[in-house]
């Protein structure tokens, strides 16, 4: 069923439900006026009419609700998919501004509760206001003077609802933000569970969690007070209306020609007004809550800029890279992370970047797949500015192996062939070439083994080699190795090193490493300091120059081998 068809069917059914409502008091009038006199109409007609009425009403209600559920869930799925797609092509700034749990919350829970609340209450809004209209119409038909009194009281109920819902809306937004923060503490504790245990920081986390929980509790209480107040207040209004009507009716009854049946029917219909009015007054809460939740999802779609690439397309780059007077600043008021970078890497060349931690090596490499954007100057690949490259084509040119290897919760094969359909032979070849053959044979299900959440069952060296296998599989012309071996022990480093050498064959390579053994053989070595290039040359010429590189070499390590690792 198409969503528009479902909506129209649902609305039609609800219309029937609403019209059926005044039929009950309408049946009452002839019953009271004529039913108790002998032979005025066949007695079987009363139960038959009642049963018929409730069958039609019930059937319409059933069909209407099923149709609405169908339409909503289809809409929800569409919204979710749209949001997830936006995450995939969002400008990378998004990931610096929002954490994983906030995004997860928005996509998974907020949208769901939002849609459900909104649809449930919209349905009630539609059904109850139609019922209200039908009942009021019937009241007017019976006795318009009496009905005027009822009509006068309805706007005041509306005003009350509006004031209350405004307050609820504000509270709901605050509540969402507090829930996100609470979820973030849990996420953090799961990510850093080792550090937290080791440093006995549990109480700190617990205190943060508790204080956030308390904030949330206060907000929720405020919301509960606001929404609980609405119902008694509106019921009070209904009672006032009822008393007014009854008093006037009793006055009128002396000189009016209203029958007993007519009066009973009027009061019944009027009492039946209370239910829809009550529902309508309770609707403000869920509608505002639902709106606030959905709005958050829509904001994510609307306010997240997309990544913009260029038009230049090329399947296979030659691998000629030029940084031209390039400068990078992460934020306006931050110092320059890179400044006046002039560097050219020729196709097939291996260039090593060395320098102390924070000197800008990772930033320089991350510019290539446009994980970082530069502030001034230009960066060209094959003579075309990287900004003019069509993004999927640009990113196809690079294989990256860095220290933090992220593994998806899927099979080994899917992780190696990441983004492509795994070809068994090729996966096996790549794993073998990445020195993971022995590991593979130890797995019960081979390449179909699910490696689990971020591969916590694999050692650092194994994960590193998995990243190498992934890079081999990609067959990209340019290779970026960012401290791929610095966290490994000697044994795994030797195995990773071997695999890396295989990977580098015939490729343009940019290699960032702490250890000399890795870079001595590079065609050129670039020494960086505080975002600038300070020396360029090969191992021998730099030693002969007796400058910064030679000084590092004397310390037997390039840069600070023990420096904490940063993976920006």
Contact with ligand ADP (CB under 6 A) among 279, 320, 361, 474: 361
CB-nearer residue toward ligand ADP: 443 or 551: 551
| Residue 360 near which of Mg ion, ligand ADP, none (CB within 5-8 Å, type-dependent) | ligand ADP
The structure tokens 């997830």 sit at 84
**Residue 293: C-alpha distances to residues 24, 164, 175, 296, 444 (Å):** 39, 18, 10, 5, 45
- 289 touches 109 (CB < 8 A): no
- Interface with ligand ADP, residue 362, by CB under 6 A: yes
Instruction: Output the smallest distance, CB 386 to Mg ion, in A.
Output: 20
Which residue number has the CB closest to Mg ion?
362
- 175 touches 216 (CB < 8 A): yes
- Interface with ligand ADP, residue 369, by CB under 6 A: no
Contact with ligand ADP (CB under 6 A) among 13, 337, 495, 548: 337
> Using CA atoms, how far apart are residues 87 and 92, in angstroms rounded to an integer?
9
Contact with ligand ADP (CB under 6 A) among 9, 165, 176, 363: 363
Footprint on residues 501-540 left by Mg ion (CB under 5 A): none
| Residue 359 near which of Mg ion, ligand ADP, none (CB within 5-8 Å, type-dependent) | ligand ADP
> Using CA atoms, how far apart are residues 398 and 395, in angstroms rounded to an integer?
6
What residues does 527 pair with on adjacent strands? 354, 535
Burial class of 252 by CB neighbour count within 10 A (0 to 12, 13 to 18, 19+): middle
The structure tokens 């993976």 sit at 567
* Window of 76-84, 354-362, 423-431, 525-533 that interacts with Mg ion by CB under 5 A: 354-362
- 276 to 315: interface string for ligand ADP, x by CB under 6 A: ----------------------------------------
- Using CB under 5 A as the binding criterion, the count of chain residues that bind Mg ion stands at 1
CB-nearer residue toward Mg ion: 115 or 354: 354
CB-nearer residue toward ligand ADP: 147 or 362: 362
Contact with Mg ion (CB under 5 A) among 362, 402, 415, 508: 362
Pairing of strands 350-355, 398-402: unpaired
Residue 108 DSSP class: I
- Interface with ligand ADP, residue 360, by CB under 6 A: yes
- 404 touches 481 (CB < 8 A): no
- Interface with ligand ADP, residue 489, by CB under 6 A: no
> Using CA atoms, how far apart are residues 449 and 431, in angstroms rounded to an integer?
13
- 45 to 64: interface string for Mg ion, x by CB under 5 A: --------------------
> Using CA atoms, how far apart are residues 145 and 157, in angstroms rounded to an integer?
20
The structure tokens 């990977």 sit at 503
Instruction: Output the smallest distance, CB 515 to Mg ion, in A.
Output: 14
Contact with ligand ADP (CB under 6 A) among 120, 261, 285, 358: 358
| Residue 91 near which of ligand ADP, Mg ion, none (CB within 5-8 Å, type-dependent) | none
Residue 564 DSSP class: P
Instruction: Output the smallest distance, CB 354 to ligand ADP, in A.
Output: 9
CB-nearer residue toward Mg ion: 147 or 362: 362
- Interface with ligand ADP, residue 330, by CB under 6 A: yes
> Using CA atoms, how far apart are residues 422 and 435, in angstroms rounded to an integer?
19
* Window of 52-60, 340-348, 351-359, 386-394 that interacts with ligand ADP by CB under 6 A: 351-359
Q: Which residues contact 212 (CB under 8 A, 6 or more apart)?
A: 178, 181, 182, 185
- Interface with ligand ADP, residue 339, by CB under 6 A: no
Q: Which residues contact 131 (CB under 8 A, 6 or more apart)?
A: 17, 18, 21, 276
- Interface with ligand ADP, residue 568, by CB under 6 A: yes
Instruction: Output the smallest distance, CB 360 to ligand ADP, in A.
Output: 4
Q: What is the 3-state secondary structure of 394-419? A: HHHCEEEEECCCCCCCCEHHHHHCCC
- Interface with ligand ADP, residue 175, by CB under 6 A: no
Footprint on residues 398-437 left by Mg ion (CB under 5 A): none
> Using CA atoms, how far apart are residues 220 and 172, in angstroms rounded to an integer?
8
Instruction: Output the smallest distance, CB 467 to ligand ADP, in A.
Output: 17
- Interface with Mg ion, residue 366, by CB under 5 A: no
> Using CA atoms, how far apart are residues 367 and 110, in angstroms rounded to an integer?
35
- Interface with ligand ADP, residue 268, by CB under 6 A: no
- Interface with ligand ADP, residue 78, by CB under 6 A: no
Q: Which residues contact 100 (CB under 8 A, 6 or more apart)?
A: 187
Tokens standing for 19?
């019209």
**Which residues sit at the interface with ligand ADP, rule CB under 6 A?**
330, 337, 355, 357-363, 566, 568
Residues that bind Mg ion (CB under 5 A): 362
């Amino acid at each position: 069923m198409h969503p528009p068809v479902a909506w129209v069917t649902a609305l039609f059914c609800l219309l029937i439900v609403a019209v059926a409502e005044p039929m009950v008091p309408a049946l009452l009038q002839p019953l009271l006026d004529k039913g108790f006199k002998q032979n005025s109409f066949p007695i079987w007609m009363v139960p038959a009419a009642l049963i018929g009425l409730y069958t039609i009403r019930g059937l319409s209600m059933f069909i209407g609700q099923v149709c609405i559920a169908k339409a909503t869930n289809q809409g929800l799925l569409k919204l979710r998919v749209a949001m997830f797609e936006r995450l995939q092509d969002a400008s990378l700034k998004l990931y610096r501004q929002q954490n994983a749990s906030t995004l997860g919350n928005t996509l998974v829970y907020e949208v769901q509760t939002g849609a459900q609340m909104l649809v449930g209450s919209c349905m009630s809004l539609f059904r109850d206001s139609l019922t209200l209209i039908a009942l009021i119409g019937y009241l007017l038909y019976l006795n318009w003077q009496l009905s005027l009194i009822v009509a006068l009281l309805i706007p005041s109920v509306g005003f009350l609802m509006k004031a209350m819902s405004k307050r609820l809306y504000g509270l709901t937004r605050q509540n969402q933000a507090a829930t996100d923060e609470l979820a973030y503490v849990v996420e953090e504790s799961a990510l850093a569970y080792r550090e937290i245990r080791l440093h006995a920081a549990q109480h700190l986390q617990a205190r943060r969690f508790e204080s956030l929980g308390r904030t949330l509790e206060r907000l929720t209480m405020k919301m509960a007070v606001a929404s609980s107040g609405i119902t008694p207040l509106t019921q009070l209004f209904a009672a006032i209306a009822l008393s007014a009507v009854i008093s006037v009716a009793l006055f009128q009854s002396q000189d009016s020609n209203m029958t007993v049946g007519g009066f009973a029917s009027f009061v019944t219909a009027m009492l039946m007004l209370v239910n829809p009015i009550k529902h309508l007054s309770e609707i403000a809460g869920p509608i505002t809550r639902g709106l606030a939740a959905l709005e958050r999802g829509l904001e994510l779609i609307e306010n997240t800029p997309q990544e913009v690439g260029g038009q230049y397309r090329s399947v296979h780059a030659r691998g000629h890279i030029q940084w031209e007077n390039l400068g990078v600043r992460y934020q306006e008021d931050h110092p320059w992370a890179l400044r006046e970078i002039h560097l050219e890497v020729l196709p097939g060349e291996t260039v090593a970047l060395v320098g102390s931690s924070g000197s800008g090596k990772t930033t320089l490499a991350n510019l290539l797949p446009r994980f970082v954007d530069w502030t001034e100057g230009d960066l060209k690949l094959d003579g075309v500015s990287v900004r003019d490259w069509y993004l999927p084509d640009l990113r196809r040119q690079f294989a990256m192996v860095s220290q933090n290897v992220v593994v998806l919760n899927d099979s080994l094969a899917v992780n190696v062939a990441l983004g492509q359909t795994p070809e068994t032979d090729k996966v096996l070849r790549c794993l073998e070439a990445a020195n993971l053959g022995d590991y593979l044979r130890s797995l019960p299900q081979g390449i179909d083994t699910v490696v689990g959440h971020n591969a916590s069952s694999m050692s650092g060296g194994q994960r590193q080699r998995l990243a190498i296998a992934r890079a081999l599989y990609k067959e990209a012309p340019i290779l970026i190795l960012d401290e791929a071996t610095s966290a490994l022990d000697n044994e795994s480093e030797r195995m990773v090193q071997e695999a890396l050498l295989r990977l580098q064959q015939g490729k343009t390579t940019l290699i960032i490493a702490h250890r000399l053994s890795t870079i001595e053989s590079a065609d050129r070595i670039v020494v960086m300091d505080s975002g600038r290039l300070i020396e360029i040359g090969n191992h021998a010429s730099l030693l002969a120059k007796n400058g910064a590189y030679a000084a590092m070499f004397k310390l037997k390590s390039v840069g600070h081998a023990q420096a904490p690792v940063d993976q920006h």
